[in-house]
Structure 1
Amino acid sequence: MPAPMILRDVFLTYRDRHGEEDDGIQFENPSGPLPRLDVFIYRSLEMTTFATIGMAVHEMPSGPGPGGGGRAELRLVRRGPLSRADEHAVAVQLANLAVHPFLTGEQLNWGHMIGIDDEFPAFRGCRAVFLAGPLSPAALDYVRTTAGAVRILNVVPITDAERAHGRTLPPLAFAESLLSRRDPYSAP
């Protein structure tokens, strides 16, 4: 069965920006909220980038809370190369995050923080994630598709202390504070 047009649009945008993916991990669950989710991996000497394709096949729930609904995909960047085992573990964690809104009824958006059960793979000490908008002027904020905009949610693993600090600030102020304190692409 061919991929829905919206996913092809996301795929082609990724291909234009990053080139051909170096690897990909496919998650299938025909009875789940996302029957198929791919996590593409792009490797360079300096960075390993992960990008989901499949989450945008459905609109996220529109409530509760601000900024709901719409379509999104996840992106995570880790400074340096990772082992294949770490790459797979990161992809699994991203797949779990991608189904989160469809299982809980809570949307994901820029500025949201989500606790996870264990440390985020390849980010020692991080037991939560902050979902950010673009982390640099050249970064994607949305992918324009024939079905409308697909928001790119940058996944930034954070520590418990950073999460507590983030709860005291508006999301943009927390993002700026985080960027001024550490490299968001490396474990703290």
Structure 2
Amino acid sequence: MAAPAVLREVFNAHRAAWGDEDDGITFDDGPAPVGRLDVLVYRPTAGTPMTSFTTIGMAVEPMPVGPGPGGGRRAELQFARRGPLSREDERAVAGQLANLAVHPLVTGDAIDWGHMIGLNRDFPTLPGCAAVLVSGPLTMSGRDYIRTSDGAVRILNVVPITEAERSVGRTLPPIEFVQRLIAETDIFAPRDHPVPG
């Protein structure tokens, strides 16, 4: 069965922005309407020292309309981790992203920029980060949405955070919290990694 047009358009937009993916991991039999979810993997290059991930499948339908913002919108997730990862770690990160992508369907609550979500364990490759912040663009060149024939598909950047960071995040407006995180820590690496300067 052919992928819905919105997902083909998201895929083509990722290819136009980032080029061909280095790998892809498919998760089948997700909760309806997300029967299939793909996580594309882009490995580091000389110009980009990140392993980047993006989902394709979450946007098959708008998120449920639940309490708080984000309901009724289509979205896809992105995540970046400084440096190369083993294939095993890539699969673990992809699995966590797949779980987050179906979170709105499982809970009935939409997610949007500024939301924090607790996890049952540490985010793969980032010890001590047992929650995530959902953010808008993290760099000046970051995309905030992808235009499709079914409307905008919002890009939700996944930022793993520690419990201490989550506590601070509860006291600040989301934009201020993201700016503080970026200024004080390398959000793309384990917390013991020095802040790039």
> TM-score band, normalised by the shorter chain?
over 0.9
2:185 pairs with 1:179? no
Which of 54, 57, 60 is the equivalent residue of 2:60?
57
> Is contact 1:33-1:103 (8 Å) kept?
no
User: Alpha-carbon deviation of 1:33?
Assistant: 4.0
> Is contact 2:25-2:40 (8 Å) kept?
yes
User: Alpha-carbon deviation of 1:31?
Assistant: 5.6
Q: Which amino acid counterpart does residue 15 of structure 1 have in structure 2?
A: R
2:16 pairs with 1:11? no
2:111 pairs with 1:108? yes
User: Alpha-carbon deviation of 1:163?
Assistant: 0.2
CA RMSD of aligned residues (A): 1.0
Q: Which residue of 1 aligns with 2:86?
A: 83
* Aligned positions, number: 188
2:38 pairs with 1:38? yes
Instruction: Could you list the structure 1 runs, at least 4 aligned residues long, displaced by more than 3 angstroms after superposition.
Output: 30-33
Which of 119, 123, 131 is the equivalent residue of 2:122?
119
Q: Which residue of 2 aligns with 1:2?
A: 2
**Structure ranking higher on relative contact order (CA contacts 8 Å, 6+ apart):** 1
User: Alpha-carbon deviation of 1:68?
Assistant: 2.5
Q: Cα deviation per residue 1:68-96 (whole Å; 9 max; x = unaligned)?
A: 32000000000000011100000000000
Q: Which residue of 2 aligns with 1:148?
A: 151
User: Alpha-carbon deviation of 1:61?
Assistant: 1.2
Q: Give the Cα separation in 2 of the matches to 1:187 and 1:31.
A: 32
Q: Give the Cα separation in 2 of the matches to 1:2 and 1:15.
A: 18
Change (3 A) 1:69 1:80: same
5+ residue gaps, structure 1, are none
5+ residue gaps, structure 2, are 192-197
* Identity over aligned pairs, percent: 59
Q: Which amino acid counterpart does residue 125 of structure 1 have in structure 2?
A: G
Q: Give the Cα separation in 2 of the matches to 1:31 and 1:64.
A: 20
User: Alpha-carbon deviation of 1:30?
Assistant: 6.1
> Is contact 2:31-2:102 (8 Å) kept?
no
User: Alpha-carbon deviation of 1:67?
Assistant: 3.6
User: Alpha-carbon deviation of 1:187?
Assistant: 1.6
Q: Taking structure 1 as the reference length, what is the TM-score of the superposition?
A: 0.97
Q: Taking structure 2 as the reference length, what is the TM-score of the superposition?
A: 0.93
Q: Give the Cα separation in 1 of the matches to 2:173 and 2:30.
A: 38
User: Alpha-carbon deviation of 1:167?
Assistant: 0.2
